[in-house]
Structure 1
Amino acid sequence: MELLTVSGIGLEEHGNPVLQNISFRQPAHRKLALAGESGTGKSTLLQIIAGLIQPSAGEVRIGGDRLRGPAEVLVPGHPGVAYLSQKSDLPHSLRVEQVLRYANKRPPAEAQALYALCRIDHLAQRRTDQLSGGEQQRVALARLLLGAPRLLLLDEPFSNLDRGHKRILQTVIDELGTRLGITCLLVSHDAADTLPWADEILVLHQGRIVQQGAPAQIYRQPIDEYTAALFGDYSLVRGAARRRLLPRQPAAGALLVRPEEFRLSTTKPGLQGTVSSVRYFGNHDEVEVALPNNGVRVRQPIGQWVVGQTVFVSLVPNGGWLLQA
């Protein structure tokens, strides 16, 4: 059963379209991510779903009930929906225990279990202005969860966090669905936030959905270069080099290849090229190979290749994706 139904959402600001005919469904307990570069309307769409912005067209339904926007109600929002913004917006200088007590609608044992889930049970006596950014974000999340929402909207929740606090919050969000039965919709421009987490990804560009699918499909078979670039590095191979790598495919179109989809060898078969640079990334090297009229980036084990070396490039089985011309 669909928990969230978004139908024909559009928004104009000062006569300019911000969102255009956005429609999708999210079943309960399914993790959905909205991806796109800055300015594509991701956060605006999330605020419409939260009931904080009035759309110009279309409607949002939560569990079959139409969500009313701020132009229709005195207090914006929906009782079954919680919205976590990039900023925690906690009351200044209150103790964490006070902030949570004012928001709590759960029995004491449930509340304590929730604090442990959010990794904040040791922060009760600290003031909100004494918390790090990651701690503030987790307290803000716990405050929302105390209201027992059915749908949690996460607007770039990791954008202002260091690596350590980001990983803690990612773990917390991973556990929400299984432990609390809460459905999550996450907005991010970072592939590392969406690919390992989401069941399905919607890609937004210039206010429209341009691709929708499972993470593996979005990553391996992007509809265009814009979508490919959102989710990692790639190389485009054209012309004779492309036809040699995929000889049985139509002549038109460029071959989009992720770095791990190439294979390097010191012997034939393959396209002959020359190593132009080798960059160390800790658990792998990225090798730039100059081919005739093409340059490609190849992910390889550490220490096997040197600049100036002659190599032969081929594809791993089922590697590469032919973009339409």
Structure 2
Amino acid sequence: MDLLTVSGISLTERETVVLQNVSFTQQAGQKLALAGESGTGKSTLLQVIAGLIQPSAGEVHANGSRVRGPAEILVPGHPGVAYLTQNSALPHSLRVEQVLRYANKRPVAEAQALYELCHISHLSERRTDQLSGGEQQRVALARLLLGSPRLLLLDEPFSNLDRVHKRILQGIIEELGHRLGITCLLVSHDPADTLSWADEILVMRQGLIVQQGPPARVYQQPVDEYTAALFGDYSIVRGAERQMLAPVSKRKAAETVLLVRPEQFVLGPKSPNHLIGTVKASRFFGSYFEVEIALPVNTIRVRTASHEWKPGSLVPVSVAPGSAWNMKR
């Protein structure tokens, strides 16, 4: 059964189209993510779903009933739907214990278990203005969870956090579905946040959903270069470089371009379909090297575990069989 149904949502603000006929569904327990450049309407869509913005057209149904916007009800919001913003917006100078007590609708034992899940049990006597950004975000999340939501909307929850606090919050969000049965819809500009977490990704561009599918498909088979760029580096193979792949018919070559991710290139040894490139640079990124290679037509970036390729050296380049994606233009 669908927990969330978004049907034909459009929004125009000051003669600017923000959302265009957006439709999708989310089942209970499904981890769904929205991806796209800044200004594509992701956060606005979340606020429409939460009942905080009135759409120009379309309807949202959550938890079995229609979400009414601020033009229809006095206090915006929808039962069973919680919305976590980038900024925690906690009451200033109150103790954490006070903030949580005012919001609590759970038995004491359940509330305490929730505080432990959110890693905030030790913060109860601290004032909100004494908390770090990561601590504030976890307290804000706990405050929302005390209301027993079924659907949690997460709007760039990691954007202001350092790596340590981000990892803690990611672990908490991962546990929400398993331990509390809460369904999450996540917005993030970082591809690593969505690719590693989501069951399905919706890609937005200029208020439209341009692609929807499992993370592996969206990453490996993007519908266009905009979508490809959202999830990492890539190279477009055309012209003389096609000899790095199996033969492509002239008709097919005219209709498509071939998209190759950095890890899909193979450096040496020579193969029937290789090209010889010149190494321009080799950069160390911890778990891999990124090698920049000049080919006859353009320059590509290759991800490899080897450090043997030095600037100025010649290297055979091919593409792993079956890895390139024929992307229509």
TM-score, structure 2 normalization:
0.97
Counterpart in the other structure of 2:253: 251
Shift of 1:243: 4.9
Deviations 1:132-173 (A, max 9, x none): 000000000000000000000000000011111111101100
Q: Which amino acid aligns with 1:297?
A: R
Counterpart in the other structure of 1:315: 319
On the 8 A contact 2:63/2:150 being kept in 1, the answer is no
CA distance in 1, matches of 2:237, 2:270: 21
Deviations 1:203-257 (A, max 9, x none): 0000000000000000000001100111011111111212542414521222111
Q: Does 1:267 align with 2:267?
A: no
Counterpart in the other structure of 1:166: 166
CA distance in 2, matches of 1:238, 1:317: 16
Structure 2 gaps of 5+ residues are none
The number of residue pairs the alignment matches comes to 325
On the 8 A contact 2:243/2:275 being kept in 1, the answer is no
Q: Which amino acid aligns with 2:257?
A: A
When the two chains are superposed, the root-mean-square deviation of aligned CA atoms in Å is 1.0
CA distance in 1, matches of 2:211, 2:153: 20
On the 8 A contact 1:266/1:310 being kept in 2, the answer is no
On the 8 A contact 1:238/1:294 being kept in 2, the answer is no
CA distance in 2, matches of 1:318, 1:280: 27
CA distance in 1, matches of 2:80, 2:321: 46
Structure 1 gaps of 5+ residues are none
On the 8 A contact 1:283/1:302 being kept in 2, the answer is no
On the 8 A contact 2:263/2:302 being kept in 1, the answer is yes
Counterpart in the other structure of 1:32: 32
Q: Does 1:282 align with 2:255?
A: no
Q: Which amino acid aligns with 1:293?
A: V
CA distance in 1, matches of 2:181, 2:167: 21
Counterpart in the other structure of 1:105: 105
On the 8 A contact 2:279/2:309 being kept in 1, the answer is yes
Counterpart in the other structure of 1:84: 84
CA distance in 1, matches of 2:321, 2:118: 42
From 285, 296, 302, the equivalent of 1:298 is 302
CA distance in 2, matches of 1:24, 1:75: 26
Deviations 1:4-43 (A, max 9, x none): 0000000001112110000000000000000000000000
Counterpart in the other structure of 1:184: 184
Q: State the secondary structure of the residue aligned to 1:137.
A: helix
Q: Does 1:157 align with 2:157?
A: yes
On the 8 A contact 2:244/2:318 being kept in 1, the answer is no
Per mean C-alpha deviation after superposition, the further-off stretch among 314-323 and 240-249 is 240-249
